[in-house]
């Protein structure tokens, strides 16, 4: 899809016209040209539509209500795009109200592009018109900011790429597929990728990571992404990201008894980190970012690691395996240790579909947030609220440390208790941060894969991609972070 700004509107324009309208008061009416729309039919209420046909045009009036909430605008225009594909087969003009700000415009364009997303990867579904490289979306806006529109489309594309990685089947998205995807992406947008296979991981001492992948026929891939801006100086900030990349999780020998069919999504944290790196490089942000996605499959085999095993880790700490289904924290432990020891970032954020306890606490509305830095925690929470990637903090109090203490090793991977699971998992990760002063952990178990009106089955959300982008942009601007 290409975009073109049209100011003023060509009065001879023929095709589809999309016009968002804020909700009007009881004394007002919505008027298009000489047509006065009956308020009982259409008054601009949220998520309502009204179609007018003229000899030249089909005009789709879209109600956005008061229009202040980012996520509402995004959902409205996702539906507009998804449900009106045939209207976009003609020449199309989007007329934006003069009063719309940059955030509202961003939400609209992300929503329009999200409407192209289709789970029928292996069906012969017709291509959405927006995905045709020759399609041009004409835009009329008094204060049109082309950079906002271009950035919005880049964000949406990265989010859709992330959704697809999570929604594709696990026989396709193997660790090597993920590594190949990242290598191709890095060549395209401008960051460097290093992939450590089994032998390189063994040499490096990434034993916790390798233990999880022992039972799979698919070779583990330890994916390292590095972005350095063209404007690099000694003052450039350095941020580290780690994303859980379990491409399928059977639970190992502590095999899952339910919902295994959804465990292709256990790499959603890694996918979000990849999507964020795509945007950081594509937008050319003035920041150094090192991101690690340890990618492997937790399968069942004669070689699988066992409950009660004692394993080593990259940090040198030993780990007692209480539960093989608490595997995500093991690969994150090696990812965090490797990042800290070799790259020394100033800020670290990890994302993972880590615990069912997070879902038990928050359901499917918010991610769990842990941080040892109050400013990072507050900024992440504020940003998440603004784009509906909501986060709510949970404690890292010392009283929970006993949950991960082991008689046999430096630490154990599971408390064995039926409560506070998200907290004890975060305490486990904290153990491997080597007291880094600016670390945050985000458990996205309940928000990465959801039921909603946009599909008949559960599907990916790309939660975390825009959250990380916006946080990093704010960090660049804020000298105190």
Domains of the chain: 2-144 (3.40.220.10), 160-477 (3.40.630.10)
How far CA 459 is from CA of 9, 361, 456, in Å, comes to 39, 21, 9
Report CA dihedral (247, 327, 371, 463) to the nearest 10 degrees. 20
Give pLDDT, residue 204: 99
> What is the pTM assigned to this prediction?
0.96
Averaged confidence pLDDT in the chain: 95
Least confident of 46-50, 220-224, 348-352: 46-50
**103 has a pLDDT exceeding 80:** yes
* C-alpha span between 429 and 413 (Å, rounded): 10
Give pLDDT, residue 164: 98
Determine how β-strand 318-320 pairs with β-strand 411-412: parallel
* C-alpha span between 344 and 336 (Å, rounded): 10
**Which neighbouring-strand residues pair with 60?**
18, 51
Give pLDDT, residue 33: 74
Determine how β-strand 221-227 pairs with β-strand 192-196: antiparallel
pLDDT digits (tens, 9 = 90+) for 191-219: 999 999 999 999 999 999 999 999 999 99
User: Is 256 annotated in the active site?
Assistant: yes
Give pLDDT, residue 481: 65
Marked catalytic residue, from 329, 390, 412, 427: 329
* C-alpha span between 450 and 465 (Å, rounded): 16
Which of 76, 69, 91, 71 lies closest to 20 in space, CA to CA?
76
Q: Categorize the per-residue pLDDT at 479 as very low, low, confident or very high, splitting at 50, 70 and 90.
A: low
Give pLDDT, residue 117: 97
pLDDT digits (tens, 9 = 90+) for 402-461: 999 999 999 999 999 999 999 999 999 999 999 999 999 999 999 999 998 888 899 999
DSSP SS3 for 393: strand
* C-alpha span between 183 and 223 (Å, rounded): 9
Helices within 227-327 (DSSP H only):
268-282
């Amino acid at each position: 899809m290409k975009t073109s700004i049209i100011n003023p509107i060509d009065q001879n324009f023929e095709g589809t016209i999309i016009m968002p309208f804020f909700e009007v008061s009881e004394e007002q009416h919505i008027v298009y040209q000489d047509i006065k729309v009956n308020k009982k039919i259409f008054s601009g209420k949220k998520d309502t539509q009204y179609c007018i046909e003229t000899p030249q045009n089909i005009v789709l009036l879209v109600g956005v209500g008061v229009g202040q909430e980012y996520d509402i605008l995004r959902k409205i225009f996702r539906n507009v795009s998804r449900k009106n594909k045939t209207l976009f087969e003609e020449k199309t003009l989007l007329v934006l109200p003069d009063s719309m700000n940059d955030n509202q415009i961003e939400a609209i364009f992300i929503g329009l592009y999200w409407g192209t997303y289709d789970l029928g990867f292996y069906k012969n579904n017709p291509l959405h018109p927006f995905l045709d490289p020759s399609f041009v979306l004409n835009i009329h806006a008094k204060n049109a900011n082309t950079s906002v529109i271009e950035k919005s489309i880049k964000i949406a594309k990265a989010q859709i790429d992330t959704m697809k990685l999570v929604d594709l089947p696990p026989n396709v998205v193997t660790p090597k597929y993920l590594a190949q995807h990242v290598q191709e992406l890095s060549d395209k947008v401008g960051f460097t990728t290093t992939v450590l296979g089994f032998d390189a991981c063994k040499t490096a001492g990434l034993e916790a990571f390798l233990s999880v992948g022992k039972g799979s026929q698919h070779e583990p891939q330890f994916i390292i992404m590095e972005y350095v801006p063209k404007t690099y100086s000694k003052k450039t900030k350095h941020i580290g990201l780690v994303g859980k990349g379990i491409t399928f999780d059977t639970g190992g020998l502590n095999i899952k008894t339910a919902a295994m069919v959804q465990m292709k999504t256990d790499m959603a944290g890694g996918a979000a980190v990849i999507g964020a790196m795509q945007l950081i490089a594509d937008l050319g942000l003035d920041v150094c970012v090192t991101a690690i996605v340890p990618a492997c499959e937790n399968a069942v085999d004669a070689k699988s690691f066992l409950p009660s095993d004692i394993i080593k880790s990259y940090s040198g700490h030993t780990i007692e395996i209480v539960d093989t289904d608490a595997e995500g924290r093991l690969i994150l432990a090696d990812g965090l240790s490797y990042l800290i020891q070799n790259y020394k970032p100033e800020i670290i954020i990890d994302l993972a579909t880590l615990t069912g306890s997070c879902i038990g606490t928050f359901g499917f509305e918010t991610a769990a947030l842990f941080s040892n830095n109050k400013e990072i925690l507050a900024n992440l929470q504020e940003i998440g609220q603004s784009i509906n990637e909501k986060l709510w903090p949970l404690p890292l109090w010392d009283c929970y440390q006993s949950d991960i203490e082991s008689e046999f090793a430096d630490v154990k991977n599971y408390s064995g208790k039926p409560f506070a699971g998200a907290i004890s998992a975060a305490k486990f990760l904290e153990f491997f941060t080597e007291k880094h002063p600016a670390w945050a952990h985000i458990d996205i178990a309940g928000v990465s894969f959801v039921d909603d009106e946009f599909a008949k089955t559960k599907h990916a959300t790309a939660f975390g991609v825009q959250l990380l982008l916006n946080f990093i942009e704010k960090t660049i601007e804020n000298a105190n972070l």
